[in-house]
Amino acid sequence: MAFSLDIFSGASAVAVSEILAALQTASFQNGLERHWSCHDMSMAFSTMGAKTLILSEEDKPIAFLLWRAVLDEAEILMICVLPEYRGRGHGGKMLEVLYDNLAIEGVHEVFLEVSENNKAAIALYQKNAFKIVGRRKNYYGDKGIQQQDALIMQYILPKVML
């Protein structure tokens, strides 16, 4: 199988917003995640430093990672892998590519928020050297209904010696 990884930002990222919205909807079918529309995805790219990495198999998009970087800090906004492609190392591969790109940009640390109930995502992040550094009480879900805490996780990029 041939895989490709492509990074998009600015106008090129807005052009793939429809693909990202479809992947996100297909990736989160549990009813607990808020689905982002094509417009929501496009708006994410109006913020400074926003980029996405799309993983494709045989030209079919199967996963993406959406982040933004400002100065020496980055935030992962979303990572999605289609259910039938999970457990094959795709999430970890996208994180490796992200780390390489962020190091070139001079980023030193990466943050993300993840539901305390999303055990698969937490395992992925911990396997890729993220540490839990905080918690936001009742961050996910409607007020009083299925509320979940968000774990704040951090990855510190290794210092590169030139």
Which pLDDT belongs to residue 93? 93
Q: Tell me whether residue 85 is one of the annotated catalytic residues.
A: no
Q: Among residues 125, 139, 140, 155, which one is catalytic?
A: 125
Which pair of tokens denotes residue 100? 């390489």
- Contact, 17 vs 42, CB < 8 A? yes
Token pair for 58: 């045989």
> 3-156 is classed in which CATH architecture?
3-Layer(aba) Sandwich (3.40)
What mean pLDDT do residues 129-150 have? 84
pLDDT at res. 2: 65
pLDDT digits (tens, 9 = 90+) for 30-73: 655 667 777 787 777 777 888 989 999 888 899 999 999 999 99
Taking all residues of the chain, what is their mean pLDDT, rounded to a whole number? 85
Q: What is the pTM of this model?
A: 0.85
Instruction: Choose the catalytic residue: 33, 57, 113, 116.
Output: 113
Residue 85 confidence (pLDDT) above 80: yes
Distance (Å, whole) CA 42 – CA 93: 24
Decide if 75 is catalytic: no
Assess contact for 134 and 102: CB atoms under 8 A: no
